Amino acid sequence: MTDFTSPSPRHPPVVLFVCVHNAGRSQMAAGFLSALGGDAVEVRSAGSMPADQINPVAVEAMAEVGIDITAKAPTVLTTDAVRHADAVITMGCGDACPVFPGKRYEDWQLDDPAGQGIDAVRPIRDEIRSRILTLMNELGIGGIGH
């Protein structure tokens, strides 16, 4: 099991964000952790039933804080993705996420941005950023700023 208090620069922790459609919450979380964690962390995201594209309002909300997630695409959750992750952060995927011993699991209860306007998505984005900063601290991931 990875020692999160002092991750090796050659072997950064792998964090997997999972939600149902992999189009909003998990993509925003992955965007924040990638931007803030830099090379100190490997970031992945997936969905139990991925959508065809990322929620354009989530893209807009992230662009407002200088993070571009337009190149990302919803990805199907695989058992291997969970197996290779050190930390798995779920966001409403329920029992669809496989569980392996020795992994860190967290379930973040966040509103779903699907079908919401930008004014409703901004607070979700800001809550995700706050949780990402806490997660980075708990995992000992040094940030590059923002």
Instruction: Given the residues 28, 97, 135, 139, select the one marked as catalytic.
Output: 97
* Candidate list 58, 69, 91, 93, residue with the active-site label: 93
Burial class, 134, CB count within 10 angstroms (exposed 0-12 / middle 13-18 / buried 19+): exposed
Distance CA 43, CA 14 (A): 6
Is residue 46 a contact partner of residue 30, using CB atoms and an 8 Å limit? no
Q: Which of 19, 82, 136, 139 is catalytic?
A: 19
93 part of the active site: yes
Catalytic residue status for 134: no
Report the C-alpha gap between 80 and 32 in whole angstroms.
23
Which DSSP letter does residue 52 get? S
117 is known as an active-site residue: no
CB-based burial of residue 38 (10 Å sphere; 0-12 exposed, 13-18 middle, 19+ buried)?
middle
Q: Rounded to an integer, what distance in angstroms lies between the CA atom of residue 37 and that of residue 32? A: 8
Alpha helix ranges (H) inside the chain: 25-37, 56-64, 79-83, 118-139
| Positions marked catalytic | 19, 93, 97
